[in-house]
Structure 1
Amino acid sequence: MNTNSRHAYLIMVHKDMYSFEKLLQLLDYELNDIYVHVDLKCKNFNYDLYKSLINKSKLIFIEDRYSVIWGGVSQIDAELSLLKTARQNENYSYYHLMSGSDLPLESPRKIHHFFKENDGKIYLDIHPLDNPKNEFERKIYRRISVRRIFTQYRSISGNKAKALVLLDRLYLMWQDKILRRDYIKQKGIKLAFGSQWFSLPNYVVDYILENKDKITDYFSKGCFVDELFIQTLLREGGYTSERSNQSKVYRF
């Protein structure tokens, strides 16, 4: 049991938003610290405005920032940067990942009471995936079963980017149809997927950060891996055993 009652809120934002203003105001509480990753592409971000909204919490805009590309591994990089910065600062009871568009539905006091009553439990959307049974599951499986080389160009316009995306698709087809490669089976990965948002206790965050090399090995050449990496890591670590009737993982 973690005796520290403080919570860390980890927020990813890509532009100035009114919803982000409201989010900060709703999270402002003496037992909350707020960590914010501002997308590196965001220019003229109004830091002073957001700092002026906070009276009780600590508000930290993290220094290790990334240009987050939709579907790219940079989404993982940003999450890990938030987790690492928060964990280096303090041994928090819980770490909550949110976007700048999210809003809590309960007061900070009620949220803290809930997690105190359920201390140590993992709140994460997670679905094991070993043998895809439909097109939806097959698409998820292929996010890392074949290697990708130009994922970072998916959301960039221009002829060069389009050509590289096309080349990436041809490379995928060559691996999938000709070579019959399956990186998941090759590495013996116990794949799982779910929403990227979470509420995790400190011991789980430590486990994630201790396994950064495995995360890089498994997911650096995949796409939309932000919905895979924590789920897969926790499944492989034995936190989501299908045999256990007392799993510490609770689905939202």
Structure 2
Amino acid sequence: MGERSDIPAAFAERIAEQLKSLPHLQKSGAPSAAGFSVTEADLELLLELENDSETIRQARFSAPETAPEAAILEVLCSYAIGAPVRELTDHGLIFALQRLRDPDVRAPVKGILTPRNAGACFAGPLKLMAALRREADVRFGRHSDTNFFDRPYSEAWKKLDKAGKRDLVLPHIESFRKAHKIAGDAFELAEIDQYDRLFLVFSDEVPVWDKPAMLMELERWLRQKTGERIELFTEVVKDANRIRRL
């Protein structure tokens, strides 16, 4: 594939950075992990499973080391470990797209950005996921139910009390404010509940229509910075003025 000039600007910087570190790349001549593989052109994905289950224990890929597809498959392999094959085919490329996209750069298309319209560099990985889905149907049978997989929090997170969890996420919340030039009083972390859900309170200065997008961007930011499956919600706060509540 060589160097490519068709990488959308929204992915160029992060793809270039990811190409500097490809720990899941299957080196030429190295023995393949026990399991199975799927191929598409010069791309290959190798998966090792936990015993006879669908859970992925290890993932490797083969691709030209300077190609943008190598960066995409590296992120895909990182996401794969600990997840069932079905989760990888359902959401792996969406995760890779979010991880490799620079939110400060205009998206390559109008509307909802997906792996199908994100650029030519996603075409090969998409075909690879289609091949994996066909292989999984043969090996495990076609699923007819809904995919409810939810990646658990890490053991390190689980050992923290609420104060420790706040101490972990607050610096990343502050870095999000600074990176996006958001006022310090625009929102605050109000609570981390017993289910580890994070609740934010927005000030009246933040327009209602801006809150959902800001919430999603912050959630994506926190997941990337912490490596945890952070979930954000808005806390509904009643007006403190009794007369206005009447």
Query: Same fold by TM (over 0.5)?
Result: no
Q: TM-score, normalised by structure 1?
A: 0.30
Q: TM-score, normalised by structure 2?
A: 0.30
Larger Rg computed on CA atoms: 2
Higher relative contact order (CA 8 A, sep 6+): 1
